[in-house]
Structure 1
Amino acid sequence: MKKIMSYGFAVFIHAVIALVVFTIPLLSKVYAFLIPVIGLYFVSRNKNKNNEVLYVSAYLVGVEVFLRMTGGNFNNEYIKICVMIFMLLGMLYRNFSTNALIYGLFLILLIPGILVATVTAHFDTDVKKALVFNLSGPFCLAFCSIYMYKRRISFTDLEQILKLMGLPIVSNVVYLFLYNPSIKEVVKGTSSNFATSGGFGPNQVSTILGLGMFIFFSQLVLFSKTKLMILLNGILFIFVSYRGIATFSRGGVVAGVAMIMCLMFLMYYFSNSIGKTKLSLVVVLVGLLGIGIWGYTSLQTSGLIEKRYANKDARGRVKNDRLGGREAIMGAEYQLFLDNPVTGVGAGMGKELRKESFGQDTASHNEITRMFSEHGLFGIFGLLILFVTPFILYINNRQHLYFLSFFVFWLLTINHAAMRIAAPAFVYALCLLSVQVKIPEKTNEPIR
């Protein structure tokens, strides 16, 4: 009962945080400052014996969009930098596997693109800004991956990490309701909607809410042992899903649904006949719940959300492109790769070259085509490392029930939102953890 109350109380506190920040926006910066400071205290006090850096980093990842939405971030890369610092601190306290240096090779493969950028950049280009904007995500991914590579952790502890990531998402959703209580009044078309996204980028908001959908679904299905917990996690799942769909940004919602499907697939695959029967019932109930959420959202948006997912405008006409103009950017990046196949055009330079072609700034939304165009063959080799390594580890890591969900989230997110936020980098690295249902005898031993 104590654990139930503590979880419920934590949810309540984060709802209050949203209300306080909405009332006094300046407190968002205080919040952003206190999180890493308090986290540093806990990590230092325990010398990271229980992988405290993972808990702190998970919370930072969950809170990033809320802070950016409310003006709390000190700069756009603030959370990524904080996460990298905590990963380094974790390595200093608890070491890391030497095999994890495969992600060090990934970083080395980025160097040619950096050198090309410094040589070929226009005199009026802020090279430092371009490099930070485009490489902070890959660097964050590498640091997280080096720390988490084959690091042993219990499934229960992994679930606690997800809870900590999910709590700030509660603040996010409550803030959205405060910022825009009536969706019906602001939805006029089928484009991504800043009004329903708290005035911030719908793409990023949708991404974090899609992750929240998975977190609270997993809590509902796997860890809700009482009626009270079922009710709490069910409500959270419904509200997060509803507000995620209402952003009119499809990427995050699709990723969240895909994560849930992957989890259900692995649960069904590894279950016995009794478990499969129960899961079949869960699938039916979740399907009905999803229909209800979709139906209510459709009602609130006067049917426009259905047209959005059918790639139609408000009048019902099919749009020429399915990805909101991203096809043109991807095509341009592919052409840049063909013109510069070995070293690419240089990290961050793709945006400059597209500005010359399109006449306006068009940042890449796709990390894969960006790696092709800006890093050439070195980028392809880097991507191969990212794609192959997790699956090699999973061969001997079948107890990692969330593996496929985490990998799919990373893959889908970098295809529509690149690595603007820390979530895809951190969640990707979670794939590399050595998850054990039973706690090993020496879980606190440093990795050698």
Structure 2
Amino acid sequence: MFKKSKNYYLLLLGFHAVLGAIIFAIPFLAKIFSLLILLFGYGIVIKNKNRNNEVLIVSAYIVGVEVFLRMTNGMYINEYGKYNIIILMFLGILYRKTYKASMIYVIFIILLIPGVFYGIHTLSFDTNIRKAIAFNISGPVCLGFSALYCMGRVVTFSEIKKIFIAFGLPILSIVVYLIFYAPDIRSVITGTESNHSTSGGFGPNQMSTILGFGIFIYFTIFYIFSKTKTNKIITLFLLVVVSFRGIITFSRGGVYVGVGMILLLVLITFTLVNSKAKMRVIAMVLIGSFLALGIWTYSSVATGGLIDKRYANQDASGKEKRSKLTGRETLIESELLMFYENPITGVGVGKNKEYREMLTGIEAASHNEISRMLAEHGVLGIIGLLILFITPLFFFFMNRQNIFALSFFIFWLLTINHAAMRLAAPAFVYGLSLIRIKLNSEDEEPTVHRE
């Protein structure tokens, strides 16, 4: 999918930067672009019969582009990302058989089925049953198929590099679009609430999620995959810009998650590399720390100090806010109450929104996938969550070939606690925590050498 050319990475970056500007100027092109992604993506997979894990590279690109297409109304269906990843994973399984242990995720998918039928039975006639169920079940099903394909699958170092690049390219388009949408930061920031203007008119929570993930992606490309000085400088610049735009969404969850992923990756690589490489890791940590301080200082100045108050959970006057989770705790409490009242069957898939409105008068979708699974699936939800928690950790400690595994896992775990599975990102990235990474003779050596 990506040609072996020294300048090809830079050309792709340039194309996606221009793409962000063009779609800002001509929004209708987003719909054409979304179709072209599928045309070329499926074409590549079918042409190569998934010999080089093309389904992972195409899926990574879809994950990176999902928010961009949503904010520009480029999707023809709301669950564009999840549905296409499910199809791609299914194609991948047809071309290349699954690892035997992956059958645990077949069980996970089966555990979701009773909740769907119960939801169909319990949802009111006024509700669009198809949309209510699809909204809540598409994320877990996408995760199930991603895990089913990825579990134990060997991915070469060069393939994982392509996956990271595929994640990062459309995130660059998002950033360029955001710059055009709100070029004057001070004029659109008036308080410490999550900011739709600095999020391109889109939901700050989802924007923060993908930009926080982008922080990790560009850090990793710089830290592990960049070979030339030019690539390092450009990637470092992109890391700074993505970090700044993520911070000024004023939605904290995605930024916290991105930083957590980086810390885990650095810690794991530090424990695995030789003594000489450890000094290089320490040097990069120091550089990164100074860089982070600089980005935060600039963000503070650009927002007139409001970003400092936001992360201190204060309003614009400096008064501490009552809720530390911006009201999400009320949603979680209502879902736990649903589980306590319906511990065996749950309330059924899609019913939690209706049930919450009846209990509290609040009409809002879930922000927490764990409490939603309990509320909608009951005891089967508990079993499903245990599978999701235990399997990747057990697999990692039995086989530590995937240095990104814990970072990917923590992205899934933390993201579903503040943004549920609105996006395809946590579902697909969870799957990547289950792959095996192989360094073969045709691959380039990583920047940080393992011991």
Q: TM-score, normalised by structure 2?
A: 0.95
Q: Which amino acid aligns with 2:341?
A: D
CA distance in 1 between counterparts of 2:282 and 2:34 reads 43
Q: CA deviation at 1:395?
A: 2.6
Match in the other structure for 1:255: 257
**Which one of 14, 17, 38 corresponds to residue 15 of structure 1?**
17
CA distance in 1 between counterparts of 2:250 and 2:308 reads 10
SS at match of 1:196: coil
Match in the other structure for 1:293: 295
**Which one of 86, 89, 112 corresponds to residue 87 of structure 1?**
89
Residue deviations 1:6-51, cap 9 Å, x none? 1011000000111111111100000001101111111111111111
Match in the other structure for 2:435: 433
Q: Which amino acid aligns with 1:423?
A: A
Matched, 1:101 2:138: no
CA distance in 2 between counterparts of 1:44 and 1:119 reads 39
CA distance in 1 between counterparts of 2:377 and 2:158 reads 39
Residue deviations 1:299-330, cap 9 Å, x none? 01100101111111111111111111001111
Matched, 1:284 2:286: yes
CA distance in 1 between counterparts of 2:285 and 2:238 reads 18
**Which one of 182, 185, 205 corresponds to residue 184 of structure 2?**
182
Gaps of 5+ in 2: 444-451
CA distance in 2 between counterparts of 1:384 and 1:155 reads 30
CA distance in 2 between counterparts of 1:227 and 1:114 reads 53
Q: CA deviation at 1:104?
A: 1.1
CA distance in 2 between counterparts of 1:321 and 1:170 reads 33
Match in the other structure for 1:121: 123
In the alignment, is the contact (CA less than 8 A) between 1:399 and 1:437 conserved in 2? Answer: no
In the alignment, is the contact (CA less than 8 A) between 2:192 and 2:316 conserved in 1? Answer: yes
Q: CA deviation at 1:424?
A: 0.4
**Which one of 36, 39, 64 corresponds to residue 41 of structure 2?**
39
Match in the other structure for 1:318: 320
**Which one of 240, 244, 247 corresponds to residue 245 of structure 1?**
247
CA distance in 2 between counterparts of 1:216 and 1:328 reads 35
SS at match of 1:174: helix
RMSD (Å) for aligned C-alpha atoms: 1.5
Query: Quick one: structure 1 residues 439 and 386, their matched pair in 2 at CA, closer, same or farther if it must change by over 3 Å?
Result: farther
Instruction: Choose 426-435 or 118-127, whichever is displaced more.
Output: 118-127
Match in the other structure for 1:167: 169
CA distance in 1 between counterparts of 2:384 and 2:275 reads 42
In the alignment, is the contact (CA less than 8 A) between 2:123 and 2:350 conserved in 1? Answer: no
Q: CA deviation at 1:439?
A: 6.1
In the alignment, is the contact (CA less than 8 A) between 2:313 and 2:321 conserved in 1? Answer: yes
Residue deviations 1:308-363, cap 9 Å, x none? 11111111111111111001111111111111111111111111011123324211
Q: Which amino acid aligns with 1:333?
A: E
In the alignment, is the contact (CA less than 8 A) between 1:153 and 1:439 conserved in 2? Answer: no
Residue deviations 1:45-83, cap 9 Å, x none? 111111111111111111000000111011210111111
Q: Which amino acid aligns with 2:167?
A: M
CA distance in 2 between counterparts of 1:308 and 1:26 reads 35
Match in the other structure for 1:61: 63
Matched, 1:228 2:215: no
Gaps of 5+ in 1: 442-448
In the alignment, is the contact (CA less than 8 A) between 1:366 and 1:417 conserved in 2? Answer: yes
Q: Percent identity?
A: 50
CA distance in 2 between counterparts of 1:432 and 1:2 reads 27
SS at match of 1:425: helix
Q: Which amino acid aligns with 1:355?
A: E
Residue deviations 1:256-299, cap 9 Å, x none? 00000000100111122222222112111100000000000010
Q: CA deviation at 1:216?
A: 0.6
Matched, 1:140 2:146: no
SS at match of 2:192: coil
Q: TM-score, normalised by structure 1?
A: 0.96
Q: Which amino acid aligns with 1:30?
A: I
Match in the other structure for 1:110: 112
In the alignment, is the contact (CA less than 8 A) between 2:53 and 2:159 conserved in 1? Answer: no
**Which one of 184, 208, 211 corresponds to residue 209 of structure 1?**
211
